[in-house]
Amino acid sequence: FGCGQRRIMLRAAKAALLRTPRRGVRGFSIEVNSVSRFISCKVASEEDAIKMDEIVVKGAISKLKNMEGFGGMRRLFCKEKLDYKILISFDGLENFQSYMASKQREQIIPILDEAEYLTTTGGWEFQNFVLDRFSGNVGMCATRALSIDDPTAH
Protein backbone atom coordinates (compact mmCIF):
# COMPACT_ATOMS: atom_id res chain seq x y z
CA PHE A 1 0.00 0.00 0.00
CA GLY A 2 1.11 3.54 -0.71
CA CYS A 3 1.08 6.36 1.85
CA GLY A 4 -2.22 7.73 0.55
CA GLN A 5 -3.95 4.37 0.79
CA ARG A 6 -2.65 3.81 4.33
CA ARG A 7 -3.97 7.22 5.43
CA ILE A 8 -7.39 6.48 3.95
CA MET A 9 -7.51 3.07 5.63
CA LEU A 10 -6.42 4.52 8.99
CA ARG A 11 -9.00 7.31 8.72
CA ALA A 12 -11.74 4.76 7.96
CA ALA A 13 -10.64 2.51 10.84
CA LYS A 14 -10.58 5.45 13.27
CA ALA A 15 -14.06 6.55 12.16
CA ALA A 16 -15.39 3.01 12.61
CA LEU A 17 -13.94 2.79 16.12
CA LEU A 18 -15.35 6.17 17.18
CA ARG A 19 -18.79 5.62 15.68
CA THR A 20 -21.54 5.21 18.27
CA PRO A 21 -23.58 2.08 17.65
CA ARG A 22 -27.22 2.72 16.80
CA ARG A 23 -30.15 0.75 18.13
CA GLY A 24 -30.04 -2.65 16.50
CA VAL A 25 -30.49 -6.34 17.04
CA ARG A 26 -27.88 -8.46 18.87
CA GLY A 27 -25.60 -5.47 19.33
CA PHE A 28 -25.16 -4.72 15.62
CA SER A 29 -25.22 -1.09 14.57
CA ILE A 30 -27.68 -1.46 11.68
CA GLU A 31 -30.96 0.24 12.56
CA VAL A 32 -34.12 -1.83 12.27
CA ASN A 33 -36.63 0.41 10.50
CA SER A 34 -38.16 -2.23 8.29
CA VAL A 35 -38.04 -6.03 8.43
CA SER A 36 -38.66 -8.50 5.61
CA ARG A 37 -39.46 -12.18 5.76
CA PHE A 38 -38.01 -14.06 2.78
CA ILE A 39 -39.72 -17.29 1.84
CA SER A 40 -37.84 -19.13 -0.89
CA CYS A 41 -37.63 -22.33 -2.88
CA LYS A 42 -36.74 -23.58 -6.33
CA VAL A 43 -39.31 -24.62 -8.91
CA ALA A 44 -39.04 -26.87 -11.95
CA SER A 45 -40.27 -24.35 -14.53
CA GLU A 46 -41.69 -20.92 -15.20
CA GLU A 47 -45.13 -22.53 -15.43
CA ASP A 48 -44.71 -23.77 -11.86
CA ALA A 49 -43.76 -20.23 -10.79
CA ILE A 50 -47.02 -18.97 -12.30
CA LYS A 51 -48.90 -21.68 -10.38
CA MET A 52 -47.07 -20.55 -7.21
CA ASP A 53 -48.27 -16.99 -7.83
CA GLU A 54 -51.84 -18.20 -8.09
CA ILE A 55 -51.65 -20.10 -4.82
CA VAL A 56 -49.22 -18.15 -2.65
CA VAL A 57 -49.37 -14.52 -3.77
CA LYS A 58 -53.12 -14.36 -4.27
CA GLY A 59 -53.81 -16.38 -1.12
CA ALA A 60 -51.45 -14.53 1.21
CA ILE A 61 -51.98 -10.91 0.16
CA SER A 62 -55.63 -10.95 1.24
CA LYS A 63 -54.56 -12.12 4.71
CA LEU A 64 -51.82 -9.51 5.09
CA LYS A 65 -53.06 -6.31 3.44
CA ASN A 66 -54.89 -4.94 6.50
CA MET A 67 -52.22 -5.78 9.09
CA GLU A 68 -50.73 -2.91 11.06
CA GLY A 69 -47.37 -1.98 9.56
CA PHE A 70 -47.65 -4.23 6.51
CA GLY A 71 -45.21 -2.74 4.01
CA GLY A 72 -46.04 -4.89 1.03
CA MET A 73 -45.32 -8.18 -0.64
CA ARG A 74 -43.05 -8.87 -3.59
CA ARG A 75 -42.31 -11.93 -5.63
CA LEU A 76 -38.87 -12.51 -7.11
CA PHE A 77 -38.29 -15.13 -9.77
CA CYS A 78 -35.02 -15.98 -11.52
CA LYS A 79 -35.79 -17.44 -14.93
CA GLU A 80 -32.28 -18.84 -15.26
CA LYS A 81 -31.91 -20.63 -11.92
CA LEU A 82 -35.64 -21.07 -11.24
CA ASP A 83 -35.38 -19.48 -7.79
CA TYR A 84 -38.75 -18.39 -6.43
CA LYS A 85 -38.88 -15.95 -3.51
CA ILE A 86 -41.61 -14.12 -1.67
CA LEU A 87 -40.70 -11.01 0.31
CA ILE A 88 -43.14 -9.83 2.97
CA SER A 89 -42.11 -6.53 4.57
CA PHE A 90 -43.17 -4.70 7.70
CA ASP A 91 -42.48 -1.21 8.97
CA GLY A 92 -40.59 -1.58 12.22
CA LEU A 93 -39.50 -4.51 14.32
CA GLU A 94 -42.63 -4.38 16.49
CA ASN A 95 -44.94 -4.86 13.49
CA PHE A 96 -42.83 -7.77 12.26
CA GLN A 97 -42.92 -9.39 15.70
CA SER A 98 -46.70 -8.92 15.76
CA TYR A 99 -46.93 -10.67 12.38
CA MET A 100 -44.81 -13.60 13.59
CA ALA A 101 -47.25 -14.13 16.50
CA SER A 102 -50.42 -13.39 14.49
CA LYS A 103 -53.35 -15.41 13.25
CA GLN A 104 -52.55 -14.09 9.74
CA ARG A 105 -49.22 -15.92 9.84
CA GLU A 106 -51.02 -19.05 10.99
CA GLN A 107 -53.38 -18.65 8.01
CA ILE A 108 -50.47 -18.36 5.56
CA ILE A 109 -48.84 -21.64 6.64
CA PRO A 110 -51.56 -23.81 5.02
CA ILE A 111 -51.22 -21.74 1.82
CA LEU A 112 -47.50 -22.53 1.71
CA ASP A 113 -48.25 -26.17 2.47
CA GLU A 114 -50.68 -26.24 -0.46
CA ALA A 115 -48.00 -24.93 -2.84
CA GLU A 116 -45.17 -27.10 -1.49
CA TYR A 117 -45.72 -29.76 -4.16
CA LEU A 118 -44.38 -27.24 -6.71
CA THR A 119 -41.01 -26.91 -4.96
CA THR A 120 -38.02 -28.93 -6.09
CA THR A 121 -36.22 -28.33 -2.79
CA GLY A 122 -38.62 -30.36 -0.67
CA GLY A 123 -40.09 -27.31 1.02
CA TRP A 124 -39.60 -23.68 1.85
CA GLU A 125 -36.67 -21.84 3.37
CA PHE A 126 -37.33 -18.86 5.65
CA GLN A 127 -35.02 -15.99 6.50
CA ASN A 128 -35.55 -12.56 8.03
CA PHE A 129 -33.75 -9.42 6.88
CA VAL A 130 -33.45 -5.81 7.92
CA LEU A 131 -34.69 -3.98 4.84
CA ASP A 132 -33.22 -0.66 3.71
CA ARG A 133 -33.78 1.19 0.47
CA PHE A 134 -31.03 3.23 -1.11
CA SER A 135 -31.39 5.70 -3.93
CA GLY A 136 -29.40 8.32 -5.74
CA ASN A 137 -25.63 8.25 -5.46
CA VAL A 138 -25.57 5.74 -2.61
CA GLY A 139 -27.52 3.22 -4.68
CA MET A 140 -25.41 3.89 -7.74
CA CYS A 141 -22.20 3.30 -5.76
CA ALA A 142 -23.56 0.08 -4.31
CA THR A 143 -24.58 -1.17 -7.75
CA ARG A 144 -21.17 -0.26 -9.18
CA ALA A 145 -19.40 -2.05 -6.33
CA LEU A 146 -21.52 -5.15 -6.81
CA SER A 147 -20.94 -5.19 -10.56
CA ILE A 148 -17.18 -5.22 -10.03
CA ASP A 149 -17.49 -8.41 -7.95
CA ASP A 150 -20.38 -9.86 -9.96
CA PRO A 151 -20.85 -8.56 -13.52
CA THR A 152 -24.46 -9.85 -13.53
CA ALA A 153 -25.45 -7.62 -10.56
CA HIS A 154 -27.22 -4.76 -12.30
pLDDT of residue 12: 64
C-alpha torsion 127→132→134→140, nearest 10: -30
Total-model pTM: 0.67
Burial of 53 (0-12, 13-18, 19+ CB in 10 A): middle
Alpha helices in the chain (DSSP H): 3-18, 46-52, 58-64, 93-100, 103-115, 136-149
pLDDT of residue 61: 92
For residues 93-112, b (16+ Cβ closer than 10 Å) or e, as one string?
bebbebbeebebbeebeebb
pLDDT of residue 154: 43
How do the pLDDT tens digits run along the chain, 154 residues long? 555 666 666 666 556 555 544 444 455 678 888 999 999 999 999 999 999 999 999 999 999 998 999 999 999 999 999 999 999 999 999 999 999 999 999 999 999 999 999 999 989 999 999 988 877 665 555 555 555 555 544 4
79: which DSSP letter? T
